[in-house]
């Protein structure tokens, strides 16, 4: 017989005891441990979720604040840029104004200096021309020219104004004949005769050599004079040149454009 019923009963009991033992020492503790761990994990997950939610909330708040801050920064930056642009424009305008003013001043100064230099040059040129002319005429001075000069002087004496002649004749002082060159005796005699004939005077004459007269001769009596000298022509020419330069300068100054403001 393959089945021993005592063994069957014993094995049934053994199996039921084993079921009880394993439930007691195996399944229940293991399942309890697993459940406890699952509860713990669930609690940790819930805590993590709560922290995550709190973190999300804080992150959202942070993002919102960051966004607001960025907007404020952008607004401030925009305002600052506008102000900087306005300030820049103002400074550029001021700089333009300053530059225009300085340019105007500079041009004015330059023009003035140019004018002064031009005037100086003109004057020097004129003086040089005159000096050259004087020198040329002095150098050209010769006996024949001096004789001509004396003749011209005598003719001028004759043709001089009657009042002037009367005024000169009535002067009690000595008469002085000044000449740029040494007069010969004949020339002195001709002059004395001419004076006697035209002014009716026989006063003694005093002859003086005056090189500055430049090929000329003159009679000087108490502030009055009858003369013919090249120096007079040159002086007259110089006066005319000065008047001309002055008029030209005035005309140039008036023709300059006004600086922009």
Partner 1 sequence: MHLSPDDIIFWDYGFLKLNATIVYTWMLMLVLAGGSKMVTRKLSVAMKRSRWQNFLEIVVLVINKQIEEAGLRRAHVYLGFLGTLFLFVAAASLFTIIPGYEAPTGSLSTTTALAICVFIAVPMYGIKERGISLYLRSYLKPTPLMLPFNIMGELSRTLALAVRLFGNMMSGTMILAILLSISPFIFPVIMSALGLLTGMVQAYIFSILATVYIAAATKREG
Binding positions for partner 1, rule: CB under 8 A: 2-12, 14-19, 21-23, 25-27, 29-34, 36-37, 40
Query: Taking a C-beta distance cutoff of 8 angstroms, is the pair 194, 154 a contact?
Result: yes
What's the closest the beta carbon of residue 78 comes to partner 1, in angstroms? 55
Query: Taking a C-beta distance cutoff of 8 angstroms, is the pair 198, 159 a contact?
Result: no
What's the closest the beta carbon of residue 41 comes to partner 1, in angstroms? 8
DSSP-assigned states of every residue in 150-217 = HHHHHHHHHHS-HHHHHHHHT--SPEEEEESSPPPHHHHHHHHHHHHHHH---PPEEEEE-GGGSS-E
What's the closest the beta carbon of residue 69 comes to partner 1, in angstroms? 42
DSSP-assigned states of every residue in 146-165 = HHHHHHHHHHHHHHS-HHHH
Rank residues 14 and 89 by Cβ distance to partner 1 and give the closer one.
14
Residue 218, SS3 per DSSP: strand
Rank residues 18 and 117 by Cβ distance to partner 1 and give the closer one.
18
What's the closest the beta carbon of residue 47 comes to partner 1, in angstroms? 15
- Residue 176, CB half-sphere, CA atoms under 13 Å: how many? 12
What's the closest the beta carbon of residue 46 comes to partner 1, in angstroms? 16
Rank residues 3 and 162 by Cβ distance to partner 1 and give the closer one.
3
CA distance 227 to 216: 8
Rank residues 8 and 136 by Cβ distance to partner 1 and give the closer one.
8
Rank residues 25 and 102 by Cβ distance to partner 1 and give the closer one.
25
């Amino acid at each position: 017989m393959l089945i021993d019923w005592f063994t069957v009963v014993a094995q049934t009991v053994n199996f039921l005891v084993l079921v009880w033992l394993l439930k007691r020492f195996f399944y229940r503790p293991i399942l309890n441990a697993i459940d406890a761990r699952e509860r713990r994990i669930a609690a940790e997950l819930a805590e993590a979720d709560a922290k995550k939610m709190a973190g999300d909330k804080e992150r959202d708040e942070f993002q919102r604040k960051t966004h607001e801050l960025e907007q404020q920064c952008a607004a401030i930056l925009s305002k600052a840029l506008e102000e900087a642009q306005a300030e820049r424009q103002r400074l550029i305008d001021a700089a333009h104004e300053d530059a225009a003013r300085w340019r105007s001043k500079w041009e004015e100064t330059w023009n003035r200096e140019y004018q002064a230099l031009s005037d100086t040059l003109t004057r020097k040129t004129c003086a040089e021309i005159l000096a050259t002319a004087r020198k040329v005429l002095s150098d050209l001075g010769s006996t024949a020219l001096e004789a001509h000069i004396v003749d011209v002087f005598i003719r001028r004496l004759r043709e001089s104004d009657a009042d002037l002649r009367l005024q000169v004749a009535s002067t009690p002082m000595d008469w002085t004949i000044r000449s740029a060159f040494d007069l010969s005796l004949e020339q002195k005699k001709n002059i004395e005769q001419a004076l006697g004939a035209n002014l009716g005077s026989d006063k003694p004459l005093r002859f003086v050599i005056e090189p500055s007269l430049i090929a000329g001769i003159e009679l000087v009596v108490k502030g009055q004079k009858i003369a013919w000298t090249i120096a007079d022509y040159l002086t007259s020419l110089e006066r005319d040149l000065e008047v001309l330069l002055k008029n030209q300068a005035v005309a140039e100054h008036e023709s300059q454009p006004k600086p922009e403001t």
